[in-house]
Chains A and B, each alone.
Chain A
Amino acid sequence: MTEPCCIVIGASHAGAQLAVSLRQQGWEGRILVIGDEPFLPYNRPPLSKTFLSGEKHVDDLLIRPEAQYEKVAIEFLLGQRVVEIDRHNKTLTLSHGEIFKYDKLALTTGSRVRTLDITGSDLRGVLYLRDINDVEQIRHFVGPNKKAVIVGGGYIGLETAAMLCKLGLAVTVLEAGERILNRVTVPALSAFYTRVHNEEGVQIETDVDISGFGGQNRVQEVQCNDGRVYPADLVIIGIGVLPNTELAEAAGLVVENGIRVDAHCLTIDPDIVAAGDCTNHHNAFYQCDLRLESVQNAMDQAKVAAATLCNKAIQYNALPWFWSDQYDIKLQIAGISSGHEELVLRGEPESGRKFSVFYFRQDKMIAVDAINSPQEFMIGKQIISKGLKVDKIMLADSSVPIRDLLQ
């Protein structure tokens, strides 16, 4: 009898963790990770930061070096795309027709950028930022006194704006909504980031309706419906991501804004798990369905999924958290703030670069956004996950050490 084989589709952060966790949890069979990029799994967060700046190289981004995977017999098939999963015969097919048999399957297919298909979006210099290849292309257009226009005032757009500004480019951020970070945070934070970017020399425009990109062969300007025109040597579009769920859907798995998984990261097929950006799970803490785009979710779900494949029943119940580095500002977010009824501000968002916002629903803290306030983040995380009651007046008083709230 041949040894059982687990195939992981997606050499992503979740895929890397899942493969390693499988070994750690005692999976003795074959482990094969298939990825469509030519690289071993790597850290994406530095792409918009230290990789864009050139401080970090591809090898520095790798989650683990090749030799370490070899040591524990984790195999990779890179630069290959899976085009079909046959659940009945438990096989999958690559784009060039090769067929692999699996006993267990893990989907860690991640997400891809949402594209903007308008006039001129195929011009040279109109780019996205999701993978190593994207950043290597962006680098060709980077130089002092060049003009960059960022389309989309979300975290990726703002982090990229901050780094390009540091590299000496004149940077303008164009946001379709009435404020940057519109979808993800409250007006106080949007106003704070607008102020900081302005102080650093980045121009931020809101309520911008882009009609197209102009230029001969390469992009020269961004055109708006109201007639405004922004000159550009480089355009980076950062308007969100979409989960890669087509394979799962075609295989008959349940897909509802992500591949539906249960608390054990199992799909409706007992031999198929899924983890990371591509999944949607019911979150017990927030009592809603969530599709999270974060390293934390990728790693924690991967560990749960691996345990499930090894017949160990553990449940996913980690508190979501996120971070963003821009200039000298570290934003740390714990929890999900949507649906909050009340917020408590600690510190001054209007001046300086240090404050935090705590979100409450029915007197229960559900999230914190901490700007250069690691203690507020760390303590907030504890308060939220343990469901502790806190005195909001003390919380709002930044002269009271945050740790005193735990006593």
Chain B
Amino acid sequence: MPVVTYISHDGAINDVEVASGTSVMQGAVDNMIDGIVAECGGSCSCATCHCYIDDAWMDKIPAASEMEKDMLECVLEPESNSRLSCQISVTDELDGLVVKLPASQF
């Protein structure tokens, strides 16, 4: 099963197994990782699952939809590697993915 590394804003590291087909958001929620709130349950409506994708993985992840891009421009502290984790589906190719979580969602 692919492993995703979630790094909290304070540096705490959580390596968890996330089944292929599950979203990066759900992986965090399932494992009770603070820093991803995910109020809308993955329907790209709330932007409370904002994360920063480690640079090494940026080109392995499909591009964001217009809706997601619009929301990302208005999150607190947006960066070029910002994504909504509910919109990223974990695949075997993403085994080892590293995401950082913003302080604003704690």
Contacts and interface: CB of A to CB of B under 8 A. Distances in A.
Interface of A: 20, 23-24, 43, 45-46, 63-65, 68, 72, 295-296, 299, 321, 323, 325, 330, 332, 372, 374-375, 378-379, 402-403
B71 A374 contact: yes
B58 interface: no
Contacts of B94: none
Nearest to A373: B70
B54 interface: no
Contacts of A323: 40, 43, 45-46
A403 B43 contact: no
A323 B86 CA distance: 16
Nearest to A332: B45
B34 A24 contact: yes
Interface of B: 29-32, 34, 37, 39-41, 43-47, 67, 70-71, 73-75
B74 A63 contact: no
A295 B40 contact: yes
> Which of A20, A375, A379: most chain B CB closer than 10 A?
A375
A330 B45 contact: yes
A201 B32 CA distance: 43
Contacts of A23: 32
B31 A375 contact: no
16 contacts: A24-B32, A64-B30, A295-B39, A295-B40, A323-B46, A325-B45, A330-B44, A330-B45, A330-B67, A372-B67, A374-B47, A375-B71, A375-B74, A379-B74, A402-B74, A403-B73
A322 B16 CA distance: 31
A65 B30 CA distance: 7
Contacts of B30: 64-65, 68
A24 to B, nearest CB: 7
Contacts of A372: 67
A325 B66 CA distance: 16
Closest 10 CB pairs of A and B: A378-B74, A323-B45, A43-B41, A374-B71, A374-B70, A68-B30, A375-B74, A375-B70, A296-B39, A64-B30
